[in-house]
Amino acid sequence: MRSKIFPVLLVACAAVTAHGSSAARKGHEDMVFVPGGYFLMGSDVGEVDKVKREFGSRDLYKDYPFDEETPKRRVYIKPFYIDRHEVTNREYAEFVHATGWAAPSSWQGGKYPAGKDDYPVLYVSQKDAEAYARWAGKRLPTEAEWEKAARGVDGRVYPWGNEFDPYKSATADSDIRYIYGALCSIGSANRIEIAEGDVSPYGVRDMAGNVREWTASAAPGEPSMAVVKGASWVDLSITARAASRAYVPKNSRSHIIGFRCVKDLDDEPGL
């Protein structure tokens, strides 16, 4: 039984119904279509060995499940829609107001900070994320769906290609223009889509950086732990890789974890 959570780099700085809400009636607005078919998931031994050489000796990554990314394999995924960006405070507030679901603990008086409408909602558990998704007529992506949406079919390491570029995503390697505000405001992360280069082959935004994201998949052999994908603004490039995976207790809430949703096709046979 794995007892340790994949490490989080901390920064020291000062069942639900729709109730007829507009969000539940939305179709595929602000969603991106991901076609069905096979894609390359995971990492091959050479890719893992390269990451081990660069990060394996660091205390922060001593418990990282490097070898569980292997092998790189062909996986079939049915077509689906995925949110173009992470669920925002504005969107989550609509859910909270419509259903009476508890607001994130970081919100004062049940309201998120002024000016943070288009920032990803944080301090939500997997259960919170699933409740929002049901209310919106969607669901959380599986690990495989998330990974295909992030990297496409050709097995690329990052959404944009095989070489890391700190100017493309909001991670700890990034230019100060992306991360300055977040470093002193751990409850906000960065505005969605601030990193113009963090775009997947399908046009999905912020899958390498900004915040980590819940999936519907459980950690191998540990049903109380969920697979979390992607990097946050305080993570290094090792986590920005599409194949990276963190194992996090499903009931935990964090300043670096948000989520996005997916939706099945209404009429798959007609494709």
Q: Angle 126-135/89-99 helices, nearest 10 degrees?
A: 80
Count the neighbouring beta carbons within 10 Å of the beta carbon of residue 148.
29
- pTM, rounded to two decimals: 0.86
Which sign does the torsion angle of CA 227, 92, 12, 195 carry? Answer: positive
- Looking at the structure of the chain, the number of domains it has is 1
Domain containing residue 233: CATH number: 3.90.1580.10
| pLDDT tens-place string over residues 218-252 | 999 999 999 999 999 889 999 999 999 999 999 99
C-alpha dist (Å) from residue 215 to 21, 162, 248: 24, 23, 10
Residue range 150-179: average pLDDT? Answer: 87
Mean pLDDT is lowest, of 69-78, 146-155, 193-202, for 193-202
pLDDT interval class at 171 (50, 70, 90): confident
Let me know how many helices (H) and strands (E) the chain has, helices first.
7, 9
Is 4 inside a domain boundary? no
**What pLDDT is stored for residue 87 in this prediction?**
98
Is 67 inside a domain boundary? yes
Is 26 inside a domain boundary? no
| pLDDT tens-place string over residues 125-140 | 999 999 999 999 999 9
* Structural domain boundaries enclosing 258: 32-265
Is 17 inside a domain boundary? no
N-to-C CA span, the chain: 43
Is 112 inside a domain boundary? yes
Q: How far is CA 32 from its chain centroid?
A: 15
